């Protein structure tokens, strides 16, 4: 497959990765879970933009994962305050930033079952900057109230909590999250989409930031990184994604 034209317009995945990179600006260490090619690309882009100062762990990767014991080491690092950011998704996310990774319908006889909560609740409490990501922005994914709370977005007063959500990136827009108010605020709408579309496809109410507009496109420098260094790096764990989005075939292929 030929490499993409460097002057070609930014693809949606490149826009979303650039947004995630901005949300990770200044962090020392970030981890990304499995089955997360766009967040992984965003984290690697943040590392390139930081001159290598941001350390990236992508679970499931051989090259970009310093851990030998998987989640246990990740949780230990988070507990010691050595993980500054984590990118988390969910089958359902509601307006209080509660995340559901278990399934839909009445638990335990859920109509649909997902992978399970794993360490989401733990990381949600101890990682200072959690970026939520959901590729499908619809009323079945962004709901008024999740069917099961795998990880709570907010806690009652007096609960010791040093971490939590700061933003939600979807295929339509970028939301910021205010932990004190327990509420999302629309920051920008991605190119090609509208505020009316966001409202129509969101199952919860949200605020709109003053000056909210269109999400900026990644500049030429960012696109060059995504279509070059970052694309080759993400191909290590997501070769199909690298081929489809960046036109990059892994070296081992």
In this predicted model, what pLDDT tens digit does every residue of 32-67 receive, in sequence order? 988 899 999 999 999 999 999 999 999 878 788 877
Residue 104 and residue 147 in contact, taking contact as beta carbons nearer than 8 Å: yes
Label residue 1 by pLDDT band (50, 70, 90). Answer: very low
Residue 205 and residue 182 in contact, taking contact as beta carbons nearer than 8 Å: no
Residue 186, pLDDT score: 98
* E strands present in 89-233: 92-94, 99-100, 103-104, 112-113, 129-134, 142-143, 165-170, 173-178, 183-189, 207-214
Q: Where are the domains of the chain?
A: 12-246
Label residue 253 by pLDDT band (50, 70, 90). Answer: very low
Token code pair at residue 49: 């933009």
Number of C-beta neighbours around residue 110 at 10 A: 15
Residue 82 and residue 31 in contact, taking contact as beta carbons nearer than 8 Å: no
87, HSE (Cβ side, Cα atoms, 13 Å): 35
**Can you give the pTM of this predicted structure?**
0.94
Label residue 13 by pLDDT band (50, 70, 90). Answer: very high
Cα torsion at 41, 174, 187, 82 (round to 10°)?
A: -50
Residue 33, pLDDT score: 87
pLDDT cut 70: percent of the chain above it = 95
Residue 251, pLDDT score: 67
Q: Which whole number is the average pLDDT over 218-229?
A: 97
Asked if the model's pLDDT at residue 122 lies above 80, the reply is yes
- Cα separation, 221 vs 18, in Å, equals 11
Residue 5, pLDDT score: 66
Residue reference for tokens 């509660």: 98
Label residue 252 by pLDDT band (50, 70, 90). Answer: low
- Cα separation, 133 vs 41, in Å, equals 13
Task: Considering only residues 175 and 111, tell me which one the structure prediction assigns the higher pLDDT.
Answer: 175
- Cα separation, 181 vs 179, in Å, equals 6
Provide CB contacts within 8 A for 56, sequence distance 6+.
29, 30, 31, 32, 43, 44, 46, 47, 64
The alpha carbon of 169 is separated from its chain's Cα centroid by a whole number of angstroms, namely 6
Task: Considering only residues 250 and 85, tell me which one the structure prediction assigns the higher pLDDT.
Answer: 85
Residue 54 and residue 84 in contact, taking contact as beta carbons nearer than 8 Å: no
Task: Considering only residues 65 and 252, tell me which one the structure prediction assigns the higher pLDDT.
Answer: 65
- Report the topology of domain 12-246: Glutaconate Coenzyme A-transferase (3.40.1080)
Which DSSP symbol is given to 10?
Answer: P
The model's pLDDT over 154-209, given as tens digits with 9 standing for 90+, comes to: 999 889 899 999 999 999 999 999 999 999 999 999 999 999 999 999 999 999 99
Whether omega before 108 lies within 30 degrees of 0, making that bond cis, reads: yes
Asked if the model's pLDDT at residue 6 lies above 80, the reply is no
Number of C-beta neighbours around residue 23 at 10 A: 23
């Amino acid at each position: 497959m030929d490499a993409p034209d460097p002057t070609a317009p930014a693809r949606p995945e490149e826009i979303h990765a650039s947004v995630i990179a901005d949300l990770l600006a200044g962090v020392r260490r970030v981890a990304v879970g499995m089955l997360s090619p766009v967040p992984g690309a965003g984290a690697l882009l943040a590392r390139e933009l930081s001159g290598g100062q941001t350390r990236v762990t992508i679970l499931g990767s051989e090259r970009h994962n310093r851990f030998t014991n998987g989640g246990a080491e990740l949780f230990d690092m988070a507990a010691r305050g050595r993980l500054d950011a984590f990118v988390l998704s969910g089958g359902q996310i509601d307006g209080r930033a509660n995340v559901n990774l278990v399934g839909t319908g009445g638990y335990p006889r859920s109509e649909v079952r997902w992978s399970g909560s794993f360490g989401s609740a733990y990381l949600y409490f101890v990682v200072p900057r959690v970026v939520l990501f959901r590729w499908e922005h619809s009323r079945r994914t962004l709901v008024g109230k999740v069917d099961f709370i795998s990880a709570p977005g907010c806690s009652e007063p007096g609960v010791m909590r040093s971490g939590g959500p700061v933003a939600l990136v979807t295929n339509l827009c970028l939301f910021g999250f205010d932990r004190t108010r327990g509420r999302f605020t629309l920051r920008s709408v991605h190119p090609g989409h509208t505020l009316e579309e966001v409202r129509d496809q969101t199952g919860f109410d949200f605020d709109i930031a003053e000056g909210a507009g269109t999400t900026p496109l990644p500049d030429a420098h960012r696109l060059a990184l995504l279509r070059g260094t970052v694309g080759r790096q993400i191909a290590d764990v997501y070769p199909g994604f690298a081929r489809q989005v960046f036109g990059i075939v892994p070296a081992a292929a």
